[in-house]
């Protein structure tokens, strides 16, 4: 129990003066927090929380910010046994309200401008999940909210797989991990700070990767002696396009990517230009951490394949529902100590996704005779936009709440840079003169820019529906693909974009 809290406390005891987090981005550039600093500040924040009205043994909420008090606040909440629901400040108001209504936290913690407590549902009984680290939502849909309870035991076990992969692929233990992405959710925490804590490695927080900052990416890694990085494919593409060349005389870091489908072209361009393997990791929030960490080819560079599972059991189930023995293709199912125990307060979704202890991922893979896996598609109605899993129904619900919208259908898109996004077909109520841009702006306000679709197209025709009035997804995508001057849908794009190395 509380393995991650014990991990931090053990590092503070054994290596109190070693750096745990170094900030190289404004407004905190130059700040160094040691392992002892994190735990000492956690005690101070714990007292502040209690004085502000926080309670122990209940669900809380934490607004995420790139602030030095983030990790100490998590430690303090773990000490109180008040695991937080993680809130991204860039979410829209409707999405945040939906998540708070579903999770009913007793209090909310803000980090900016200072640690403050706001009471929320003091009279609501709180069914705090046992051994919980935090609660992360993969979908804020009001009709089908999906939240993962990350427990200390499962997350620690999954992160041991991360550590094993670091040691196996690098040969030595990394000591400095770079974080170059915004603090937005559980994935960013787990792929950097949790990985670093279990490794006993320092996390260096660099400027967020953008078009403007990508140029100096490699020089920042070299200056800070970084020996491991993790970038989502969209950020890899920024480095490919806008960074200066890497100094090939300086040993390079161990490079991972994941959290969204990787284009073979993006991987090939990265490896050819910078001379480093880019390992294609794979996992879901439901597996607490990554489960596969890529595959090294005979030429010393990584292939597009995700490799073999590190610490989980994996099997494939074909379209007929049979377990695939040996080489073959089917939906990936995973089991093991790091696999979640079910969605928070959503037994129906749990029953559909977790069957006899096996997680149905919704992702399709092909396995060769050596047991090496390659992703070839996705069966779920979800899109990986950056590091977010966004369900099409979530966008449709938000659109349907607009007073001028009669019906809406979201479609998964593949953009020109091989990243994924969402389009939305909208039919207006009779007599409405609302413009597509107005609907799009409304969706951005409701969902936040990162979860909203990139394009809204108005249609006068009824949307294709089948039994029980459900949208017929293939027909919706076919209609979208018939439109002029729009990004193409994901139909068949896994196979047509190239098989990779």
- Give tens-digit pLDDT for 288-318: 999 999 999 999 999 999 999 999 999 999 8
CATH number for the region 392-496 comes to 3.30.300.30
Q: Which DSSP string corresponds to 422-438?
A: EEEEEEEPTT----HHH
Task: Provide the b/e sequence for 301-329 (b: ≥16 CB within 10 Å).
Answer: bbbbbbbebbbbebbbbeeeeeebeeeee
For residue 286, which of 332, 334, 351 has the smallest C-alpha distance? 334
Paired sense of beta strands 455-458 and 488-489, if any: unpaired
Tokens describing residue 316: 């494939």
Q: How far apart are CA 33 and CA 421, in angstroms?
A: 37
**pLDDT of 493:** 46
User: Which candidate, 119, 113, 112, 114, places its Cα nearest to that of 48?
Assistant: 114
Nearest of 282, 283, 278 to residue 253 by alpha carbon: 278
The pTM is what? Answer: 0.82
Where are the chain's structural domains?
3-18+35-150, 392-496
Report the 10 Å Cβ neighbour count for 266.
Answer: 23
For residue 394, the model assigns a pLDDT of 81
Note the pLDDT of residue 92: 84
The alpha-helical segments, DSSP class H, found in 171-299 are 186-188, 195-199, 217-223, 233-242, 264-274
Confidence (pLDDT) at 263:
78
Q: Which H or E run contains 98?
A: helix 93-103
Q: And the tokens for 242?
A: 């806008």
Longest dimension (CA), the chain: 70
Q: For residues 413 and 389, is the Cβ–Cβ distance under 8 A?
A: no
Residue 161 dihedral angles phi and psi, to the nearest 5°: -65, -40
| Strand 488-489 versus strand 405-414 pairing type | antiparallel
pLDDT of residue 138: 81
pLDDT of residue 142: 57
CATH class name, domain 3-18+35-150: alpha beta
Task: Report the half-sphere exposure of 165 (CA within 13 A, side-chain side).
Answer: 33
Please identify every stretch of the chain with a pLDDT value under 50, giving residue numbers as ranges.
Answer: 492-501
192 alpha-carbon distance from chain centroid: 12
- Give the span between the Cα atoms of 162 and 164, in whole angstroms: 5
447, containing H or E segment: helix 436-447
- Give residue 378's pLDDT: 67
Burial of 468 (0-12, 13-18, 19+ CB in 10 A): exposed
């Amino acid at each position: 129990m509380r393995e991650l809290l014990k991990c931090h406390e053990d590092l503070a005891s054994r290596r109190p003066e070693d750096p745990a987090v170094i900030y190289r981005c404004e407004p905190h550039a130059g700040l160094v927090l040691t392992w002892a600093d994190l735990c000492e500040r956690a005690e101070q924040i714990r007292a502040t929380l209690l004085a502000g009205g926080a309670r122990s043994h209940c669900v809380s909420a934490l607004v995420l910010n790139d602030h030095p008090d983030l990790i100490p606040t998590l430690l303090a909440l773990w000490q109180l046994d008040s695991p937080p629901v993680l809130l991204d400040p860039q979410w829209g108001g409707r999405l945040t309200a939906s998540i708070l209504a579903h999770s009913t936290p007793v209090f909310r913690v803000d980090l900016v401008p200072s640690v403050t407590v706001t009471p929320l549902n003091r009279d609501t009984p709180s069914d705090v999940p046992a051994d919980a680290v935090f609660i992360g939502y993969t979908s804020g849909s009001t009709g089908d909210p999906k939240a993962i309870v990350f427990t200390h035991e499962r997350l620690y076990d999954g992160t041991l797989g991360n550590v094993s992969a670091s040691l196996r692929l690098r040969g030595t233990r990394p000591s400095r991990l770079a974080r170059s992405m915004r603090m937005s959710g559980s994935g960013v925490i787990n792929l950097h700070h949790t990985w670093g804590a279990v490794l006993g490695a320092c996390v260096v927080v660099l400027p967020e990767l953008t078009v403007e900052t990508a140029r100096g990416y490699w020089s920042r890694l070299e200056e800070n002696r970084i020996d491991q990085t993790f970038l989502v494919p969209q950020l890899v593409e920024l480095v490919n396009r806008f960074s200066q060349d890497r100094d090939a005389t300086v040993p390079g870091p161990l490079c991972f990517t994941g959290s969204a489908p990787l284009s073979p072209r993006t991987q090939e361009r990265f490896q050819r230009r910078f001379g480093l393997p880019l390992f294609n990791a794979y996992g879901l929030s439901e597996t607490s951490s990554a489960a596969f960490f890529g595959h090294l080819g005979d030429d010393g560079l990584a292939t597009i394949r995700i490799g073999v599972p590190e610490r989980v059991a994996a099997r494939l189930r074909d379209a007929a529902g049979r377990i695939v023995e040996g080489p073959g293709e089917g939906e990936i199912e995973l089991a093991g100590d790091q696999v979640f125990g079910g969605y928070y307060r959503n037994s129906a979704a749990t029953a559909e996704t977790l069957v006899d202890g096996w997680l149905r991922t919704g992702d399709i893979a092909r396995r060769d005779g050596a047991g090496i896996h390659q992703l070839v598609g996705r069966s779920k109605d979800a899109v990986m936009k950056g590091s977010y899993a966004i369900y099409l129904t979530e966008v449709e619900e938000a659109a349907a709440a607009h007073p001028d919208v009669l019906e809406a259908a979201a479609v998964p898109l593949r953009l020109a840079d091989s990243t994924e996004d969402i389009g939305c077909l909208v039919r207006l109520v009779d007599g409405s003169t609302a413009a597509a841009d107005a609907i799009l702006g409304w969706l951005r306000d409701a969902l936040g820019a990162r979860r909203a679709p990139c394009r809204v197209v108005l249609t006068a025709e009824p949307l294709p529906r089948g039994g029980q009035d459900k949208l017929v997804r293939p027909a919706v995508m076919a209609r979208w693909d018939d439109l002029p001057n729009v990004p193409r849908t994901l139909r068949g794009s896994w196979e047509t974009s190239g098989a990779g190395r």
